[in-house]
Chain A
Amino acid sequence: MYLYDEIDQKLVDERVVQFRDQTRRFLAGKLSDDEFRALRLRNGLYIQRYAPMLRIAIPYGLLSTKQLRRLAYIARKYDRGYGHFSTRQNLQLNWPKLPQAPDILAELATVQMHAIQTSGNSFRNITTDHFAGVAQDEIVDSFVWCEIIRQWSTFHPEFSYLPRKFKFAVNGAKSDRAAVAVHDIGLHALRDEKGEVGFRVLVGGGLGRTPAIGFVIREFLSWRHLLTYIEAILRVYNRYGRRDNINKARIQILVKERGPEKFREEVDAEWAHLKDGPATLVPEEIVRIESRFTRPSYLRLPATDAGLEAALASERAFANWHKRNVHPHKKAGYSAVTLSLKKTGVPPGDVTVEQMEKIADLADRYSFGELRVSHEQNLIFADVQLSDLYSLWQEVRELGFATPNVGLLTNIICCPGGDFCSLANAKSIPVAEAIQQRFDDLDYLHDIGEIDLNISGCMNACGHHHVGHIGILGVDKSGEEWYQIEVGGNQGEVRPGRGASLGKIIGPSFARAEVPDVIEKLIECYLARRDSDAERFIDVVHRIGVEPFKESVYGNADQRAAHRRGQLASA
């Protein structure tokens, strides 16, 4: 956990004072709706379908149990007793009242939290790998770099009114678990031949209505130049990004309109002025930030545990959970554990305050009082002793968070959709639930193997549907809710050799009731064609293309033509 120093704390406190004054002036009629909107969005307040929605930042997904308890307290006192963990590692409350928002921010500030820049056209909360600091394939601890960028981006005076929102992800391990290629800027940590840390810098990725994979603007940027280089990118974007059309205002459009090469030249020209200037990072600052992170005091433990082995051998349900929800750790004798928030019948990512409090108790007892939020909307205990896994499993199961489905079909990423969101074309939560119900046979799920299924209720893509191996998108057809299916998306190089890709739409959309059938057909198509169970759904799509999947759903080209003729004849 990064611990604030006096200045960090003071800035967050001053933010509360500022927002209290802004809210006061708004309620007194001194600020127009439009003017206040820009200000409240910078504090995470949307006006939603039923009430304002407050998006609380969980910087890079890292949370202490003290903070989680405070979140529970807030959700109980100011909201309806639950919160929603989002794909951007934030927590959303769906029912707070505007006049109380400053009080909520003040409560957050007491535990070193805030809602700064969680919406609006600003530099947003930075996301990263949920296994940062514990992954076996670690290159650097990405939390440290995230914190450095968090500070740099917080209240940046020059970049507070960007053309559009700006999303930043950092990955510090060999596997990309942060989806860096679909962010406005993504960093992938590397070491050069001398062992010096640097970053591959990607720019112009994003989801939303015009999804794009980021392009590599720099193959290796030394860590020293990190801030000056980002500053150069942001300055070019701030000056030349489009402001005439909100749908063309993301940096990806600027990159496209300029062309990647030209864009790189412009950034380099700007950087030439900033490089080696005062914002150049120094080793002492990295050490200072590192040393403000509390670290677990690990015990020296053997790499295996006899009790664990025995439990795995004797109890199948535990073994299933272990296979899916327990992950390797860089320290011998420890592992990381995912608490699945994807139980059938519960909106993905939703947690009640009672659950938050119980989770906090468990994290205190089993994982050094810390936890993480993953962009797959699950919670992670990063540092659990092998000998504790069995008893942790029993307790987590009691809470309903032991669904052994991490990486599997029912671990669906899903946005709030039409149940909560005023921008939605269609509901998404009931679709997730119907699919989870269809695939409730665990053996079958495990047999299908690793697959990402993502659902968004509209083209804003909050549910990452473009990068699901199967993506589902809610669309509006003359006032009715329909669903378009995509196949072949991939969030990034989670496995070596299979980089980020965007899904392709397989054909005309479906009514909600048809969706589980369609998914089943796609899965059957995959199972019939895979070489072995090591070949994942996405690997098969890449090997044989989308056409066989299309056929499995709509029939072959002749059948489709016949069907169309039939439709025309009956019309």
Chain B
Amino acid sequence: MATLIKERRIVADSWHLLERGPKGELPEVPVRGEVIVPLALWLARREELLSRVGTGTLGVWLDASEGPEALAGDVQRFPLIAVNFPKFGDGRGYSIARLLRERYGFKGELRAIGDVLHDHLFFMEQCGFDAFALREDQDAQEALSVFGTFSEGYQTSVLRPVPLFRRRLGASKS
């Protein structure tokens, strides 16, 4: 089972990720436990799952080709949203994360799943992920050091909503 880093600490993972079956069929949702369901399942069974979301035991995951648009008004109901990285070089998830945080105001756990590697955690965190289900072969202890890679960033990001140039100006004024 993959190691989870959450808020820069290695933690035990109580969530269960549900995936589609080999033929693409939607999984069964177990009655108990904390589960993360594929977007398609949520869209298909939204009405009956709404109450489960209310108890804080149902999250949803988006694939890289999917977007927060599909969740729209429901985003803030979820305690957890996961975004899948099918391959580490596939950068779509970074945009999805920023949109969830910045445009849809998602405050819950935002988890990176899939091909999640050491060298990508820094940017992922900047884009709003706070939980990382590392690929199995990754050294989680070593990966913890990665969050300090860069001490600054020029751009706006979820962690630094005000760009460096405005912060510099503010500092020189005061």
Contact = CB atoms under 8 A, between A and B. Distances in A.
B27 interface: no
A192 B131 CA distance: 48
Interface stretch (A152-160, A308-316, A528-536): A152-160
B95 interface: yes
A151 B154 contact: yes
Contact of B164 (A7, A18, A160, A163): A7
B94 A152 contact: no
B123 A282 contact: no
Contact of A121 (B89, B120, B149): B89
A193 interface: no
B157 A158 contact: yes
A14 interface: yes
A38 interface: yes
B150 A14 contact: yes
A161 B124 CA distance: 11
Given A157-B123, A161-B94, A235-B95, A11 B152 contact: yes
Interface string A62-96: 00000000000000000000000000000000000
Interface in B115-131: 117-120, 122-124, 126-127
A238 B91 contact: yes
Contacts of B127: 157-158
Interface stretch (B4-12, B52-60, B70-78, B165-173): B165-173
Nearest to A160: B123
Interface string B92-126: 10111010000100000000000001111011101
Interface stretch (A272-280, A329-337, A519-527): A272-280
A285 interface: yes
B155 interface: yes
A239 interface: yes
Given A10-B151, A35-B88, A157-B157, A278 B166 contact: yes
Given A14-B150, A157-B123, A273-B103, A238 B165 contact: no
B163 interface: yes
B155 A152 contact: yes
Contacts of B120: 161
Max count, chain A CB within 10 A of own CB: residue among B127, B150, B157, B162: B150
12 contacts: A121-B89, A157-B123, A161-B91, A162-B91, A238-B92, A238-B94, A239-B96, A278-B161, A279-B163, A282-B165, A284-B169, A285-B165
Interface of B: 67, 88-92, 94-96, 98, 103, 117-120, 122-124, 126-127, 139, 149-157, 161-166, 168-169
